[in-house]
Amino acid sequence: MGIQLFVPTFNIERCMEEIKECLEKGWTGLGFKTVEFEDKWKDYTGHSNAHFLSSATAGLHLAVKIYKMKYGWKEDDEIISTPMTFVSTNHAIAYENMKIKFADVDEYLCLDPKSVRKQITDKTKAILFVGLGGNTGRLKEIIEICKEYNLKLILDAAHMAGTRFEGETPGLKADCTVYSFQAVKNLPTSDSGMICFNDAEDDEICRKMTWLGINKDTYARTNQKGNYKWKYDVEYLGYKYHGNSIIAGIGIAQLETLDRDNAFRRQICNWYDQRFKEIAGIKRVLVAGGCESSRHLYVIEIDNRDELLEYLNENEIYPGVHYRDNTEYGMYAHGKDECENSARMSERIMSLPLHLRLSKKDVDYVADKVIEFVNKNRHS
Ligand SMILES: *Cc1c(COP(=O)(O)O)cnc(C)c1O
């Protein structure tokens, strides 16, 4: 088997109970558990609105779409985003044919406020910030920039389930926050996500947009008993983006141990830190001050990254890379050579195995092999 990058762990008994409840009731779709999970997520995070989705990709798309509709953004208007992310982030902007202006990342691999400022023009409408690996980076300064220039802040919190900044959910200060509960995220289901708008009106539009634009209010008003269910209106060209009760049930079961699970992730990162902090040639991507990270990722920066990847593979350790600079992809080549740090880090970063089934012994084994390679390299 070796040591894998991610191995999701499920609270199997609790997941089965939740799923069984859905099956017995005969309710596996929208409503029931999706509503229960939304309520529990609001309680847990402090968000005033939460809508359960089939994925975070869907949520990021809707965040851009709904603001574009509401504020009349044009197709040549711009959103500032990061090249150091999973492509979903930037696809969300591209789906709506808006312009992506790439700003560079800082030492946290999050958007660098200095670089963001340089990208602002009179066409800039929003900033899309990614909390990479659960880190908040310089989000606080990005929030200030958004206030100063009257920009919307969309937070891609795909890695941030359970992250806190100065004791609070960081997304409470964004206009819209999107979480992912995809199969290998730190709150794994199979595929799902949550979108949290600060404004209740946006949440209301979003609920229609995730179910084909259907507005059920008409029949709810005219009939409480549930007849005339077909008498709804269709207000928007919406999508089929909402989540379902089976997956929401898994989400509910997983949320019960999220804080404990994230604490163990931080413990694992601590073990790596202890081993690496004195080693010249291994640079760790640190967690920003004030941030209690969900620790979705543990990232180091090294020379000869690809060779180290091969060396670790030979020793049955299977790390990953989060991420390749998106401007290396054909789709986003227009931003090439603009973000120096992203381009550089894209060649130098590696995510080490980080999941709940690792023991101290596993972590030490990975650390031994990384250190062995780095020392050999420095002396050859
Ligand atoms: C996983 C991920 C997404 C997409 O999440 P899905 O739920 O799989 O759609 C978006 N952004 C980042 C940074 C991610 O890691």
User: pLDDT of 277-311, one tens digit each?
Assistant: 999 999 999 999 999 999 999 999 999 999 999 99
88 CA to middle of ligand 1, Å?
6
Report whether residue 189 contacts ligand 1, using a CB cutoff of 6 Å.
Answer: no
Average pLDDT over residues 218-245: 82
Which is the closest atom of ligand 1 to the Cα of 322? 15
* pLDDT classification of 220: cutoffs 50, 70, 90: low
* pLDDT classification of 226: cutoffs 50, 70, 90: low
Report whether residue 57 contacts ligand 1, using a CB cutoff of 6 Å.
Answer: yes
Question: What pLDDT, on a 0 to 100 scale, did the predictor assign at position 1?
Answer: 81
Q: Residue 351: which H helix or E strand, with range?
A: strand 349-351
pLDDT tens digit string along 182-206?
A: 999 999 999 999 999 999 999 999 9
Give CA–CA dist 15/286, Å, rounded.
34
Of 60, 62, 89, the residue with max ligand 1 atoms within 8 A of its CB, to mutate for a pocket test, comes to 89
Report whether residue 81 contacts ligand 1, using a CB cutoff of 6 Å.
Answer: no
Question: What's this model's pTM, rounded to 2 decimal places?
Answer: 0.97
Give CA–CA dist 51/35, Å, rounded.
8
In the numeric block, which tokens belong to residue 142?
Answer: 């990005």
Position 225 pLDDT exceeds 80: no
Which is the closest atom of ligand 1 to the Cα of 88? 10
* pLDDT classification of 230: cutoffs 50, 70, 90: confident
Question: What pLDDT, on a 0 to 100 scale, did the predictor assign at position 267?
Answer: 98
Closest CA to 339 of 86, 110, 144: 110
Closest CA to 35 of 194, 273, 258, 232: 194
Position 361 pLDDT exceeds 80: yes
317 CA to middle of ligand 1, Å?
24
Closest CA to 52 of 40, 64, 66: 40
Q: At 29, phi and psi to the nearest 5?
A: -95, -150
326 CA to middle of ligand 1, Å?
14
Under CATH, which architecture does the 258-378 domain have?
Alpha-Beta Complex (3.90)
Question: What pLDDT, on a 0 to 100 scale, did the predictor assign at position 216?
Answer: 83
Average pLDDT over residues 338-354: 97
235 CA to middle of ligand 1, Å?
28
**Domain boundary assignment for the chain:** 10-255, 258-378
Question: What pLDDT, on a 0 to 100 scale, did the predictor assign at position 221?
Answer: 62
Contact residues for 150 (Cβ-Cβ < 8 A; gap 6+): none
Rounded alpha-carbon distances, angstroms, from residue 323 to 13, 107, 356:
34, 14, 22
98 CA to middle of ligand 1, Å?
20
Which is the closest atom of ligand 1 to the Cα of 296? 15
Average pLDDT over residues 262-291: 98
Report whether residue 56 contacts ligand 1, using a CB cutoff of 6 Å.
Answer: yes
Position 268 pLDDT exceeds 70: yes
Buried b / exposed e over 262-288, threshold 16 CB at 10 Å, is beebbebbebbeebbeebebbbebebb
275 CA to middle of ligand 1, Å?
30
86 CA to middle of ligand 1, Å?
6
Q: What is the DSSP string of 68-102?
A: HHHHT--TT-EEEE-SSS-THHHHHHHHTTPEEEE
Position 224 pLDDT exceeds 80: no
Average pLDDT over residues 112-136: 98
What is the overall mean pLDDT for the chain?
96
* pLDDT classification of 78: cutoffs 50, 70, 90: very high
Q: How many CB atoms lie within 10 A of CB 7?
A: 15
185 CA to middle of ligand 1, Å?
8
Which is the closest atom of ligand 1 to the Cα of 156? 11
Query: What topology does CATH give the domain 10-255?
Result: Aspartate Aminotransferase; domain 2 (3.40.640)
Give CA–CA dist 138/247, Å, rounded.
33
